[in-house]
A and B are shown apart, each in its own frame.
Chain A
């Protein structure tokens, strides 16, 4: 479905991404893991056509990445949606939450007012938020609620692929877990493909079937999640990332 071939990106002459190539099939879920500065967010921006690659190709269902013309962009975004990292400013602060969520429906569909309202309410409930919140401005929401609202907004137009760029990184641990569980259930229900970008390997089991590790803009390895703890087969860098949480784990097992 999504096909990335020999993708390179340079910013101010500095290589950010080098020779990235992978694909995502219908309903598949892939995780991209790397430290900050590994180029994983740039990759998300390239797939969302918010930046243009220096060279290489991105195809979705055979269509190339849009570069001009509103119509081709619209077509692209109808199929691919993204949830950004929680910075508290990805929803327009001057609009009510209902208006924020209505936005993609106005732009992508021909629903009338009543249908739009019905849809927004449906998805608002699906991500587990209270109907009364819809009248508020985005600033009233807590971090967890904010990300749920963004998720609902991304899912409203029923995209085929959802990209989550560090979606849970700024949240408390319990909220992270709830969010991952919500994603798993929605993915099962809607059968959408998922590209989950994170720095935390421990979030992935249960959510993603494949993992790609990114280091300084280069693809280190791509493997099935079931082989994650198979240290003999893993790249040394992947093992280092895994071991980051090991020292906590040892202390933990000692006391519980």
Chain B
């Protein structure tokens, strides 16, 4: 155990950080020192100090409390978005590869169209139609990501299908759904898991990027992208306002990337 950690210092640190982040996000109401929405005009734009470790913003709100509360709005939705995307990918991709008939071809043409569309453009168009707000952004991101997962999972299942142990499992009396759930999916799970973790950082960047553009979460939400947008206007007077949320986005995205790369090397 210790030798594993010693050989993987950086991935271990990244993993620790992510565990800590998730705990912080879940326990936000109890551990944040101040109310993240409470404004105090006497204390606006204070630099980091012992009372306010991350400083305060232009309305006098405590930045540390806002960053802590922001975790549940910046990071947790990513897991939900990716779960939905993976579920769609598994259902459609497996079904498409397993049957492998004309529907498969139709499905692939459809995913071709979606992968060809620039995802940012698609998202902005969808939000433009449905209006601002986080729910619409999640929907738009799912819409621009599902095709990639369907294609990759279809490809993986297609390869696994040719393995001798799938033929052998038929002879052992496994058919249809049983082959898929017991013999195919467990064998492609390692690849999908690695891909998911690598994509977490991309989705974090997309979501906070959209908030930064002003089409995702709306103020006064403590979402990190929104906070970054606030900080942009005070970059000269109060650089800490942009630095801390931006740094959190960077750290989180980098941590998931490091773990994903490590897992990829494993295989």
- CB of A89 within 8 A of CB of B171, answer no
- CB of A70 within 8 A of CB of B175, answer yes
Chain A 58-86 residues near chain B, CB threshold 8 A: 70, 73-74, 77-78, 81-82, 84
Contacts of A48 in B (CB 8 A): 171
- CB of A50 within 8 A of CB of B174, answer no
Q: Which residue of A lies closest to B185 (CB)?
A: A94
Q: Which residue of B lies closest to A82 (CB)?
A: B171
- CB of B171 within 8 A of CB of A81, answer yes
Give the total of A residues in contact with B, Cβ under 8 Å.
25
Q: Does A153 contact B (CB under 8 A)?
A: yes
Task: For the complex, give the distance between the alpha carbons of A78 and B172 in Å.
Answer: 8
Set A81, A82, A89: member contacting B163, Cβ < 8 A: A89
Q: Does A108 contact B (CB under 8 A)?
A: yes
Contacts of B178 in A (CB 8 A): 107
Interface of B is mostly: helix
- CB of B176 within 8 A of CB of A92, answer no
- CB of B187 within 8 A of CB of A92, answer yes
Set B167, B174, B187: member contacting A93, Cβ < 8 A: B187
- CB of B173 within 8 A of CB of A108, answer yes
Chain B 163-219 residues near chain A, CB threshold 8 A: 163-165, 167-176, 178, 182-183, 186-187, 189
Task: For the complex, give the distance between the alpha carbons of A77 and B175 in Å.
Answer: 12
Task: For the complex, give the distance between the alpha carbons of A124 and B164 in Å.
Answer: 22
B52-88 vs A: 1/0 string, CB under 8 Å? 0000000000000000000000000000000000000
Task: For the complex, give the distance between the alpha carbons of A48 and B169 in Å.
Answer: 12
Distance (whole angstroms) from the CB of B53 to the closest CB of chain A: 47
In the complex with contacts A93-B187, A95-B186, A103-B169 CB distance below 8 A: yes
Set B170, B174, B186: member contacting A94, Cβ < 8 A: B186
In the complex with contacts A50-B167, A89-B164, A77-B172 CB distance below 8 A: yes
Contacts of B171 in A (CB 8 A): 48, 50, 77, 81-82
- CB of B175 within 8 A of CB of A73, answer yes
- CB of B174 within 8 A of CB of A107, answer yes
Q: Which of B165, B171, B175, B182 has the most CB of A within 10 A?
A: B171
Which B residues fall within an 8 A CB radius of A?
163-165, 167-176, 178, 182-183, 186-187, 189
- Identify 14 residue pairs between A and B in the complex whose beta-carbon atoms are under 8 Å apart, listed by A's number: A70-B175, A74-B175, A77-B171, A77-B173, A78-B173, A84-B167, A84-B168, A87-B164, A90-B164, A92-B169, A93-B165, A95-B186, A103-B169, A104-B172
The 8 A-B residue pairs with the shortest CB-CB distance, nearest first, are A107-B173, A94-B186, A104-B172, A90-B164, A90-B168, A103-B172, A92-B165, A70-B175
